[in-house]
A and B are shown apart, each in its own frame.
Chain A
Amino acid sequence: MNVPSEHLLILAAILFAIGLGGFLLRRNVIVVLMSIELMLNAANIVFLAGARQHASESGHWLPDGPVMVTFVIAVAAVEAAVGLALVIALFRRKQTVSLDQLSPTSD
């Protein structure tokens, strides 16, 4: 594929901004966690765009970008697991997943 790296970076920027918007605007904790996953994926795209750009300029592949992506995926899995466990624990106590009703100032 001969798509220039700029387009990959622009896609990553758009995905990150959408994730950030969801993170800030949504009240459902589960959707907020999903928005974080979107932002992490945007970072992954940037890593791979960088790896591809470097390889195409220098002629040899550096493994650092793909390795970082695997680490990011591992951390994303951990984050989702812990976040959802916390959501379940919170739901048991408060019977809601709405951030408005979960905030300490609401009751």
Chain B
Amino acid sequence: MVDLLFYVAAALCVLCALGVVVSANPVQSVLMLLGSFVGISLIYLLAGFQFLAAIQILVYGGAIMVLFLFVVMLLNQGDPAVLASEQGLLSKAQLAGGLAVAGSALALLLAAVVRTEIPRPIFGYLWPEGGLDPLVGMAQAMFGPYVLAFEGASVLLLTTAVGVMTLAKRQRSKPSVKAAPLSSTTEGSA
């Protein structure tokens, strides 16, 4: 039963991921990506990683998806007129090349998985103790051997916050910047 649920979640992931790539409307892409993340979170949950499943929903579903959706709305990407103007078909060669690269990557990865002998555990797959992922161990590792990476991540996040504000700020000093279509929409966020 639980195993069946895994395959349902995996199918949801793959179908939604295909939807992200295929759908012409970016708003649809964002929503499809959200579905894919929910499926992945479900897989984490089934594998016993409750904390990571919650993080996946909170950070990806809550923060990153809202960011994407916000930018899509800000740039008017769901507008049919914008969609029609920017929708050019890929040439045959481009399509074939992209599909060939993606397909060969898939073949390579699948071959690597299939040809590797992964031993089945004798007593079945373990759940973390108490059904929770090894939180204590995770915390100890994060502030033990990984403390440098942890601090690096916090510095990275701080740098990003400052950098994004600098990047997205409207440059008022330059009158040559043509920001006419955005001037009304960015007033509130600036």
Which residues of A are at the interface with B, using a C-beta cutoff of 8 A? 1-22, 24-28, 30-31, 33-35, 37-38, 41, 44-45, 48-49, 52-53, 55-57, 59, 61-64, 66-67, 69-71, 73-78, 80-82, 84-89, 91-93, 95-98, 100-101
Contact = CB atoms under 8 A, between A and B. Distances in A.
A60 to B, nearest CB: 9
A66 B114 CA distance: 24
A89 to B, nearest CB: 5
Nearest to B161: A81
Contact of B133 (A15, A45, A66): A66
Given A21-B98, A31-B21, A38-B20, A52 B164 contact: no
Interface in B97-148: 97-99, 101-103, 105-106, 109-110, 113-114, 118-121, 123-126, 128-129, 133-134, 137-138, 140-142, 146
B80 interface: no
The bracket for how many chain B residues form the interface is 35 or more
A22 B95 CA distance: 11
A84 B106 contact: no
A2 B124 contact: yes
20 contacts: A3-B3, A3-B6, A6-B118, A15-B13, A20-B101, A25-B98, A31-B21, A37-B64, A41-B37, A49-B47, A56-B121, A66-B51, A71-B149, A75-B153, A77-B59, A81-B164, A82-B163, A85-B168, A86-B167, A97-B86
Highest count of chain B CB atoms <10 Å: which of A45, A53, A63: A63
Question: Chain B: interface secondary structure?
Answer: helix
Contacts of B52: 48, 66, 69-70
B60 A89 contact: no
B64 A76 contact: yes
A14 B103 CA distance: 10
A24 B101 contact: yes
Contacts of A38: 17, 20, 33, 36
A70 B55 CA distance: 8
B187 to A, nearest CB: 14
Contacts of A28: 26, 77, 86
